[in-house]
Amino acid sequence: MEQGVALDPAKGGETLCLILESSKLLATCIETIADGLDTDSFCCVTDIPLKDLPSHSPYYGKVAIGFKAEAVHRSFVPVLYIPKQNLPAVKRLIPNPELQRMAGEFFGCGPGFWEQQGMKMLHQAERNKHEVVEIKQEEVGGFLANFLKITDFDSDPQNTYYREREWRCIGDFQFDKTDIEAIVAPKETLPMIRKKLSELGITETSVLAWEFIEDA
């Protein structure tokens, strides 16, 4: 799973209205734990205090739905943040990949002299082994692998996912209108959002202007 480009406010507001209409968060995310080991499809929420929303907006935009804690606890599980080097792994030696690449280029030049050079390069690759570290999939795989997040711990938010405090739901998250605690969005989108809330009979949800959060 990677961070994408944040939606502009108008598009974010439209997407929020679609989510409200469907009462569903779609499981469109997949996390790659290691080569050949992916999680099942999931949707996710993050445990972010209101005051910290501005620092996350460059990645996720300025439109947010806040669900009640009970609703999250029913369907979501907090992820385990773990650096890749802390996963069970095995070291092994493989033929030098750079020399193998060069051999392939020689073979592409045709038979004869270049083919001989390619064979020599392959022999050198075998003699000059390269160490790789591979995750032991049999020890990491299974149900719990769905809730792993590979990240480094770093004080720079650009280099770590740890501060997001992600929770995951395997599959779609179907919610009830009473599960929504609050909605945050830029002022320009609030009329559209309030209209949609009224149409859906969602009357007890707090609606906050993004500018209020940003200036608080």
Mapping DSSP onto H, E and C, the string for 135-160 reads ECHHHHCCHHHHHEEECCCCCCHHHC
pLDDT attached to residue 1 = 42
Q: What average pLDDT score do residues 22-50 get? A: 91
Torsion sign, CA atoms 178, 45, 69, 40 = positive
Q: What average pLDDT score do residues 13-19 get? A: 95
Q: What is the pTM assigned to this prediction?
A: 0.70
Amino acid at 168: R
Chain centroid, CA 29 distance in Å: 7
Query: How do the domains of the chain map onto residue ranges?
Result: 9-85+140-215, 89-135
Give 173-196 pLDDT, tens digit per residue.
999 999 999 999 999 999 999 999
Q: How far is CA 69 from CA 55, 92, 114, in A?
A: 22, 45, 66
Angle among Cα 187, 62, 1 to the nearest 5 degrees reads: 160
